[in-house]
Structure 1
Amino acid sequence: MRALLLLLIISLFSKPTIAQEKFFELTSHGFVSTQDTTKLFSIYYYEGKSQSELYKKALVYINTLYVSPKDVISNVENETITINGVAKSTIRQNSLSPRFDMNYTIVLMFKDNRIRIDAPTFRLSNQSMGKHRIMNLVSTGLSLDGTEIGIYNKKGNLKLEKAKDDLENFFTSYLIKFHDAIENDKINKEW
């Protein structure tokens, strides 16, 4: 019992690891870095890794995530990788409504010992009751029939907390797995 209590106390006061951190936080202006909320990118360091080594590891890992990577990835060799992905039925408006599909873009830039991850961008839509619905970051205020809604209202107040949480959790999970693959060389090389 004492050991469990000690472990709990240590975990409460220890610095969070990258596996516990959010990379980005969603605001009414889009995603901002949790490292510095004035920035639209985060930088992660990988000591002793060259630019080309980081690029190659990232490209190999990202290629394992998609059925048709050539349709998702665009790149400039050893410089950048842009991921244009789709996640079906991922984002909730609330507990009752059908989930929204997400088209997203993540841009990675490489230098020796570090990777810059630009704030993700996204578009959300679904089909519900025969209507094409769009979930904007900020409400346009023009949709009386509910075909366009906003995560934030025009004043910047959060309206759809579940959508915000789902977006942050999706990108946090995606980027933690990416970081773990780069940091720990978790790309499956056995075949």
Structure 2
Amino acid sequence: MDWMTEIPPASGAIVGPDGLARPRWAAVDPMLRDYYDTEWGIPVRFEHALFERISLEAFQSGLSWAIILRKRPGFRAAFADFDPDRVAAFDEDDVERLLSDAAIVRNRLKIRATITNAQATVALREQGGLVDFVWGFQPNETPQPRTQADVPTSSEASVSLAKALKKVGFVFVGPTTMFALMEAIGMIDTHLLDSHRRGSSGVWG
């Protein structure tokens, strides 16, 4: 078999040498392929892990996800493994430390946003916690994309989630960023219909 073979154009998926169909973005780079196969779209229902996903999605804004994924170990080391309590206590000295850390994306606004969001995550425990708050916006239906062009970049649910998070103190949580989060944590299933991962979250049939 060739390194990869496109299956019928209507599907938009690509069959790799392992015989499995994936979207084009996950079909070439081994790192992205592994992320797609093992993590993307799998439900995240723990505060610590969900805070990490929100943080990384914010850093990804305006950049490629591959950049963020390659720097993920650096992000984890720099942000105390995304422990909300520890990050919430970061001060200006920590901001300056992070701005000199080449292992992460050095953006002052995004660094401060991560600290702000950690503080909001801690405060949200009084309202049931981040996980229940975010998952409370799970829609009743999920997209049914045959091609990547069929996958929307925002939705009514992501707009509502973004607005709600902003009301409780979160920043860098726009509708597009929240839609990407919803995809990543399995709240919606935007795997292409012909992808071998379609339905793998267990949330959607």
The verdict on a shared fold, with TM-score over 0.5 as the criterion, is no
Whichever structure has more strand as a proportion of its residues is 1
Structure with the bigger RCO (C-alpha within 8 Å, sep 6+) is 2
Whichever structure has more helix as a proportion of its residues is 2
